Chain A
Amino acid sequence: MRRRPSLRAEPVDGLLPLFGAGVAVLALIGLSAWLGFGGRQSLEGPDEALALAGELRGFTPNRLVLDRDGGAALVGDTLGRIALVAPHGAHFIAREIGPEARLDRTDGELSIAIGAMRVILALGDEAASWESLVSRAIAPAETGP
């Protein structure tokens, strides 16, 4: 008769490796903070924002504005859609602005929120014109026959 193989892996002293791994994880997180791997990064330039927005489905960028510090951007396309290029950790993500977005303007700054994400863009003189573009993306005017 065939011997039924046992499958019990030898535990390395039970929970000790898990505890050790937990301590090591905390140490590595602490080290990455200590080495300065955090905080806001700036976009490498307009090209990075255009490339990120250009990945959205059917999005052909034709206008762009960078936040004063390069910490975010707005990109418009040929159909009047607007993409928000927002910081996420050390990188950036592009999200199309739709009806669920919220917009505020104070002086030269636009504040745009999409879900839990909220970005403030310092746009100076361009804030007013982009405010109307973004407003139209949030609530497109009815175009009937």
Chain B
Amino acid sequence: MSGFDPLPYAIPLFVLLILVEMLWARACKRARAYEVRDTAVSLGLGLGSIVAGALAAGATGALLVQAHDFALFEIGWAWWAWGLCFVLDDLAYYWQHRFSHRVRWMWASHVNHHSSQHYNLSTALRQTWTGFIALNFVFRLPLAAAGFEPAMILTCAGLNLIYQFWIHTEAIGRMPRCFEAVMNTPSHHRVHHANNAIYLDRNYAGTFIVWDRVFGTFAPEEEAVPIRYGLVHQLGSFNLLRAAFHEWVAIARDVRQAPWRHKLSYLWREPGWSHDGSRETSDMIRARTRGSLPPST
């Protein structure tokens, strides 16, 4: 049985919803909701990610098949396997995403999803070009090794990505309470894209927000804290290639300049780590900001 990639079928829906959101922003006089060069970079990253994904698909598939060969069970294509696979794949996504924010090698691949100062449906399409090099596939191997069909895993991963499209919007405030409790929503994911200190490294969820609640990385969107989107050090460029590769270039520069015993740390430590303390990690920013808050009365 061959795999099914749902992504191409979702593209017309993506385009239609972006069009609707642009008209909404225009009607509501939200002049900063979209910016033509930002939109061009976001959509360009989306197009490029389709090509990059196609190039890496063969190798990713082969690795999943290898892992599947070691499986103790053959789960096969039973109907219940689809639901279980989707949920476990979402758990795998949570950890992949969490590592993508906490290990600089993986952050270099993920940063382009966060480098826009806008938060709209086009932001959702800022997908990576270098996910394979960042080793994202590693997090899916346990599913194949557990006996899930590799093609089923990839289909579930595609469906997960499609789910995450609609949550990249400011047009929706909050969903009903029970929905917000279980599912990832625009409100939860706005927090993830914020660069406010209290929101850094929070809400890694793909489809189910429950993983963040379980593993202690959940933060609710606070009415009193207006969100600013983007990176702690904003990229400040609308160059597509810079958006795709700037952190890889920065890693290469740091590794070249660092003393020998620190070189590897610039690959695996968290973004913002430096051997001489000249930069700030998200933990340092959180601590600094907590310290500067006025004492509560």
Identify the A interface with B (CB < 8 A).
2, 4-10, 12, 17-18, 20-22, 24-25, 27-29, 31-33, 35-38, 41, 51, 55, 57, 86, 88-91, 93, 95, 116-117
Q: Are B236 and A7 in contact (CB under 8 A)?
A: no
Query: Which residues of chain B in 1-20 are interfacial with respect to chain A, using CB atoms and an 8 Å cutoff?
Result: 1-5, 8-9, 11-12, 15, 18-19
Closest Cβ of chain A: how far from B291's Cβ, in Å? 11
Residue of B8, B15, B40, B150 touching A5 (CB-CB under 8 A): B150
Partner of B2, one of A6, A31, A86: A6
Find the A residue at minimum CB distance from B292: A60
Q: Could you tell me if A90 and B5 are in contact, using CB atoms closer than 8 angstroms? A: no
Instruction: With A5-B68, A6-B2 as known contacts, state yes or no: A22 contacts B47, CB within 8 Å.
Output: yes
Could you jot down 12 A-B contacts, CB within 8 Å?
Answer: A4-B69, A9-B2, A10-B3, A24-B15, A29-B39, A31-B19, A32-B34, A37-B22, A38-B35, A90-B35, A93-B234, A116-B237
Task: Answer whether residue B212 sits at the interface, using C-beta atoms and an 8 A cutoff.
Answer: no
Q: Bound state CA distance, A143 and B74, in angstroms?
A: 73
Q: Considering the complex, which residues of chain B in the window 49-67 have a beta carbon less than 8 Å from any beta carbon of chain A?
A: 50-51, 57, 61-62, 64-65
Question: Is there an interface contact between A17 and B8, defined as CB atoms closer than 8 Å?
Answer: yes
Instruction: Judge whether B141 is part of the interface by a CB distance below 8 angstroms.
Output: no
B32 and A41 form a contact (CB under 8 A): yes
CB distance from B226 to the nearest CB of A (A): 9
Interchain CB contact under 8 A, A57 and B5 = no
Closest Cβ of chain A: how far from B238's Cβ, in Å? 7
Evaluate whether A90 and B31 lie within 8 angstroms (CB atoms) in the complex, with A10-B4, A17-B11, A117-B236 already known: yes
Task: Give complex CA distance A24, B11 in Å.
Answer: 9
| Contact A4 B32, CB 8 Å, known A28-B39, A31-B22, A89-B117 | no
Interfacial chain A residues near B195, Cβ < 8 Å: 55
Measured between beta carbons, the chain A residues less than 8 angstroms from B25 are 35, 37
Q: What are the residues of chain A within 8 A of B184 when measuring CB–CB?
A: none
Residue of B nearest to A117 (CB): B236
Contact of A12 among B9, B46, B228 (CB under 8 A): B9
Distance to closest chain B CB from A83 (angstroms): 13
How far, in angstroms, from A29 to B238 measured CA to CA in the complex? 14
The answer to whether B117 touches A8, judged by C-beta atoms less than 8 angstroms apart, is no
For the complex, what is the distance from the CA of A125 to the CA of B280, rounded to whole Å? 37
B65 & A57 in contact (Cβ 8 Å cutoff): no
Most B Cβ at <10 Å: residue of A6, A9, A12, A93: A9
Contact present for B36 and A29 (CB under 8 Å): yes
Task: Assess the B39–A5 pair: CB atoms within 8 A.
Answer: no
CB distance from A14 to the nearest CB of B (A): 10
Q: Which of A89, A93, A95 has the most CB of B within 10 A?
A: A89
B280 x A57 contact (CB < 8 A): yes
- If A24-B15, A25-B43 touch, whether A9 touches B22 (CB-CB below 8 Å) is no
**Residues B11 and A8 in contact, CB atoms below 8 Å apart:** no
Q: Is the CB of A89 within 8 A of B238?
A: yes
A18, A24, A116, most chain B CB atoms within 10 A: A24
A20 to chain B: closest residue by CB: B11
Q: Are B47 and A21 in contact (CB-based, < 8 A)?
A: yes
With known contacts A29-B43, A32-B22, A32-B34, A18–B51 Cβ distance under 8 A: yes
Extra 16 A-B pairs, beta carbons < 8 Å, given A21-B46, A57-B280: A2-B69, A5-B68, A6-B1, A6-B2, A8-B3, A9-B3, A10-B2, A21-B11, A24-B12, A24-B15, A31-B19, A35-B23, A35-B34, A90-B117, A91-B35, A91-B118
Q: Which 10 A-B pairs have the closest CB atoms?
A: A7-B61, A37-B34, A89-B35, A9-B5, A91-B117, A90-B35, A93-B234, A25-B43, A38-B36, A17-B8
Distance of B61 from chain A, by nearest CB (Å):
3
Q: Are B154 and A25 in contact (CB under 8 A)?
A: no
